[in-house]
A and B are shown apart, each in its own frame.
Chain A
Amino acid sequence: MTLRLKKILLLMTPLAIALSFATAPVQAADTDLSLSDQGIQTSADGGLLEALMFYACAGVTLACGFAICLSKNIVRMAVYLFGTLAAVALMYFLLLANFIGVIQLIVYAGGTLILLIFGVMLTSKSPWAKFEVKRSELIAAGIVCALFAGMLLFVVVNAEWPLETDAVVVGSSMTQFGTGLLTDYLVPFEAISVLLLVVMIGAAYMARQE
């Protein structure tokens, strides 16, 4: 099982990255065009190509998530997690949220994941340390989660979402972010920054050797 997932992962990841970079310029071009106040109509649906890419990303995301669920080795989990995060990032791109996608790649793949690996390295005697879980717990968790998933999917599928699919992309997302952060979302932004500071100090304090 895990072997096959590994192969899928190895096949899919570079493909996904390539595709993402293939689509990126289009966006960039848009941004350029938007500057000249005459937008280019782009329909919401990217057609077959978009579909294929979505399925690829979804597949990689879910496959890696599943692999995380199954694997017992913490290092492998971290690797699979990287796959997940990357695939999610690509999905952001497909969702026309390039900035978020980039942030995702940088912060998660770059920061958090490394942090995790370090945590692994520092804490476990052997990086391959395994902690067995009782089968009963597994079954219980499986059942509960299956139910949860089932219900959520039921809701998700059956709900009528107020959609405006004929949406028009206007302007660059970066400017919108800038204005947004400094106008509407200034207070949360500041709070986050303070929080980050506090976290940095706290983490340093906690992790230090006395």
Chain B
Amino acid sequence: MGNYEIALCIGVVAPLFMFAVLAFFGHRIGKPTSGWVAVIGVLASLGCATYVLAGWLSATDKAALMATTGYDWVVLNLFGNEMPIEFKVKLDGLTVMMYFMVTLVSTCIFVFSIGYMAGHSDEVDGQCKFHRFFCYLSLFEFSMLGLLISSSIFFLFVFWELVGLCSYLLIGFYFDKKFASNAAMKAFITNRVGDFGFLLGLMLVFVFLQTFDLDQAAANFRHQYATGTGIFAADIDILGWHISGMGLATLMGIGLFCGAMGKSAQFPLHVWLPDAMAGPTPVSALIHAATMVAAGVYLVARVFRLLTPDAQFFIAVIGCITLTITALIAIVQVDIKKVLAYSTLSQLGYMIFGMGVGAWPAALFHLITHAFFKAMMFLGSGQVIEGCHHVQDMRKMGGLRKKMPVTCWTFFIGVLAIAGFGIPGMHIGLGGYFSKDEVLAVAYERTYNWEDRFGGHGKDDEHGAENAHSDASREDDLILRSGKVILASGQAHDEHGTEEHSADEHGAEAAHGESATHGAAAHDAGHGGHHDDPVLAGIAAQQRKIPKWMFWLPIIIAYVTPFYMMRCWWMTFMGKPRDEDVHHHAHESPLMWAPLIVLAIGTVAASYMMFRPQLGEAAVIASDAPLVVAVDGEVPDKAQHEMLGLSHDKAKDPHGALVGIVGFSWLIGMGLAVLIYRNGLELAERIKRLPLVGFIHWCLMEKLFFDHIYDTVLVKGTRSVLAGISNLFDMLVIDGIANLLGRGTVRIAEFSGNIMDTGGVDGLVDAIAESTQGASEMVRQPQTGKIRNYILFGTTGAVLVLAAIIAVVMS
């Protein structure tokens, strides 16, 4: 185990330790101190992260840093073979970047929360919930970091659930409020629905790829694709639905993606995130903006190599829908946190969409930049809410810039970043300008340039040449990146080496015995350029063209985003105060704005510093899979593995191709917002009164009715109808049958018992006596004493005698 792994593990365990401390002694530690305890834990993690990051950036042979040894958590048995579920520290560019980002952001948020919770913690009830809050936060920190460093899909799932738990606990932190506990429950159950799909994918991976290790799984997947074995030869019935080969692989991909749908709140499971704002604002910043919801994207990035073209297309569609509807809903929100929540959803939609179209590094880049500026904005909103004494309605705010300048301007930086502020032609821009627009660019490539791009590389080159010079200001950036490329490719090669090796091991283990060809196949799939061409042809045959609407919707939303963010900012900080009371109380405390500044710096830095190139290198991981149709809008092949840093020069500068389309979207959107909200809400109100607008506004205010539909159809349906019916069925039918049998048996027993009792000799005597009595009774019956009856009987007797005589005579 290398130092870096140990460092990462320490970084993971430190918050857990703090969690234990706070859990057991928190109430003794007391109010501010317990917060600092938690901060110490996360600072330790940050230290480890920095150490690892520094080592990683400076390392020449990154492959050497990869973890080799693991710990067998349990040993499963698959088709009679031992199959350990191994806990191995995942150490690669992606992990390092994410790890660093998470620890940095969460450090700021922890510090912020001390100031924030100081005002909030006591309102739950008499006793102090302060330490419990940091207890949960530390647990979350542990789970999140564990999620990042786990190299096996199984452990991804484990920590996946754990972060879900923490999210549940923290959303429901004010659990004495009904809406808070409802929101918590909604979040967890919605996530569980996603995890159901995740489990399905997990089972498919387990049975068909026969490993949980990500790299191993990718290797097996590639091998199986190359040899047409395993999942590609499989042919199964699920719920009476016949599915096989590529379709099954797609199902696996979609199943794994379902987990991401739950966690990063993608349509149609997006409903829980806005409600999750019921939690304390730092929680919203940490979990529901920066880290946990981004875990979905991280998961997709991790399993990217197991995705088929169809699965990717599915992902892209989901992302596209999500980013559209949520951005539209965000326009009409008046609760500042709700605006941020929906913008988060929309940005997550961009990331997922990017993953779907194959913009692997771009999407992750957007994840990181978004984490910074969105966390910052959430903390800003927390600052505002705290300052305004828990007023969240923006209509009551306004003109706060003088009262809380730091918050105001850091928030503004965030708005610029999410709006994709940047000046085309110069290398100046913030967050979205680089990350989001790159996603759009890749989408553009996939939509319009795909056929000729796939046609051949010569075309690519001249195409690249023509806009290679279009943005001189980013050339140095390219050089910087290309400097690393060689390493990247080397790493790629060695990585293949290791995979080939492990593939061989796997071949030895595998139930089907073409282990001989296996390593070779993995080898070919890994390097052999000439071998790749038929494979690529096969993929090209299967891969889908991105339809135009899936390119244009994000573009439109790129104009909507600056609008609603600017609206939010302007309504909050600019203009005249709309509520004297609120405005009067407003203030900000250093403990809370210091983190804002840190994050603001982080936002700016993240746009320029190592993240993008590092992720570009890490893209090698994503790209060495047979069925990934595009990384950065390119067909991944041998040539590309070397060229990866450079290869997507078309996509690199969005504004080469898209400068006319999105280059100034931020300006237009924000300008429009300023125009409308320049002086108060009157203009907006007037617009709202337009007929059609009014209807649309209503629909958007109702969140397009998702909540209503789910609540009535699913929740009530399950709780009342299904559960009720089955309960009644249980009580009436099943239990009824049981009771019926019981009683029947008892009856039979009584019956037979009686016969037994009175069946004896004495019983016989009784019977005789009774029968005699009965007979006499019977005889006695007609003795009415009425003479007329006697006559009647006599006559009857005569009739009978006569009848007898006649009968005798006649016969």
Contact = CB atoms under 8 A, between A and B. Distances in A.
Direct contact of A and B (CB under 8 A): yes
Interface of A: 137, 140-141, 144-145, 147-148, 151-152, 154-155
Nearest to B788: A137
A148 B788 contact: no
Contact of B792 (A140, A152, A154, A155): A140
A145 B795 CA distance: 8
Interface in B760-811: 788, 792, 795-796, 798-799, 802-803, 806
A144 B795 contact: yes
Given A144-B796, A148-B798, A151-B803, 20 more contacts: A137-B788, A137-B792, A140-B792, A141-B792, A144-B792, A144-B795, A144-B799, A145-B795, A147-B799, A147-B803, A148-B795, A148-B799, A148-B802, A151-B799, A151-B802, A151-B806, A152-B802, A154-B806, A155-B802, A155-B806
The DSSP consensus for interface residues of chain B is helix
Contacts of A152: 802
B792, B799, B803 interface centre (most CB from chain A within 10 Å): B799
Interface string B374-404: 0000000000000000000000000000000
B37 to A, nearest CB: 103
Q: Would you call the interface of chain A mostly helix, strand, loop, or mixed?
A: helix
Nearest to A155: B806
Contacts of A145: 795
Nearest to B803: A151
A155 B802 CA distance: 9
A148 B788 CA distance: 17
Contacts of B792: 137, 140-141, 144
A144 B792 CA distance: 8
B794 to A, nearest CB: 10
A149 to B, nearest CB: 10
Nearest to B786: A137
A142 to B, nearest CB: 11
Interface residues of B, number: 9
Nearest to B793: A144
Contacts of B795: 144-145, 148
Contacts of A144: 792, 795-796, 799
Nearest to A145: B795
10 contacts: A137-B788, A137-B792, A140-B792, A141-B792, A144-B792, A144-B795, A144-B799, A147-B799, A148-B798, A151-B803
A208 B792 CA distance: 33
Contacts of B799: 144, 147-148, 151
A152 B803 CA distance: 10
Q: Kindly list the 6 A-B residue pairs having the minimum CB-CB distance in the complex, ordered from nearest.
A: A151-B802, A148-B799, A147-B799, A144-B795, A144-B796, A144-B799
A13 to B, nearest CB: 30
Nearest to B798: A148
A59 B615 CA distance: 134
Nearest to A148: B799
Pick the most buried of A145, A147, A154: most chain B CB atoms within 10 A of its CB: A147
B99 to A, nearest CB: 105
Contacts of A151: 799, 802-803, 806
A137 B786 CA distance: 12
Contacts of A147: 799, 803
A141 B799 CA distance: 12
A61 to B, nearest CB: 21
Contacts of B806: 151, 154-155
B424 to A, nearest CB: 116
A147 B799 CA distance: 7
Contacts of B798: 148
A8 to B, nearest CB: 28
Contacts of B788: 137
Contacts of A154: 806
A137 B792 CA distance: 9
A209 B803 CA distance: 48
A155 B799 CA distance: 12
A140 to B, nearest CB: 6
Nearest to B802: A151
A25 B402 CA distance: 160
Nearest to B794: A144
B793 to A, nearest CB: 9
B312 to A, nearest CB: 95
A55 B404 CA distance: 139
Contacts of A141: 792
A148 B802 CA distance: 8
B502 to A, nearest CB: 104
A148 B797 CA distance: 10
Contacts of A140: 792
Nearest to B806: A151
A147 B788 CA distance: 18
A156 B788 CA distance: 27
Contacts of A148: 795, 798-799, 802
Nearest to A133: B788
Interface string B604-628: 0000000000000000000000000
Nearest to A147: B799
A113 B396 CA distance: 124
Contacts of A137: 788, 792
A113 B751 CA distance: 67
Candidate in A137, A144, A155 with the most chain B CB atoms within 10 angstroms? A144
Nearest to A159: B809
A145 B792 CA distance: 9
Interface in B735-753: none
A60 B796 CA distance: 28
Contacts of B802: 148, 151-152, 155
B218 to A, nearest CB: 100
A137 B795 CA distance: 13
A141 B789 CA distance: 9
A152 B798 CA distance: 11
Contacts of B796: 144
A137 B799 CA distance: 17
A151 B798 CA distance: 10
Nearest to A154: B806
A154 B806 CA distance: 9
A103 to B, nearest CB: 28
Contacts of A155: 802, 806
A148 B792 CA distance: 11
A154 B799 CA distance: 12
Nearest to A141: B792
Nearest to A151: B802
B160 to A, nearest CB: 89
A141 B790 CA distance: 12
A165 B803 CA distance: 30
A140 B795 CA distance: 11
A141 B793 CA distance: 10
A136 B799 CA distance: 19
A44 B799 CA distance: 35
A147 B803 CA distance: 9
A137 B789 CA distance: 9
A46 to B, nearest CB: 33
B754 to A, nearest CB: 38
A144 B796 CA distance: 6
Interface in B680-695: none
A147 to B, nearest CB: 5
A26 B586 CA distance: 154
Contacts of B803: 147, 151
B798 to A, nearest CB: 7
B710 to A, nearest CB: 75
Nearest to A150: B799
B731 to A, nearest CB: 52
A71 to B, nearest CB: 17
A152 B806 CA distance: 10
B801 to A, nearest CB: 10
A38 to B, nearest CB: 46
A151 B802 CA distance: 7
Interface in B122-162: none
Nearest to B789: A137
B2 to A, nearest CB: 113
B281 to A, nearest CB: 95
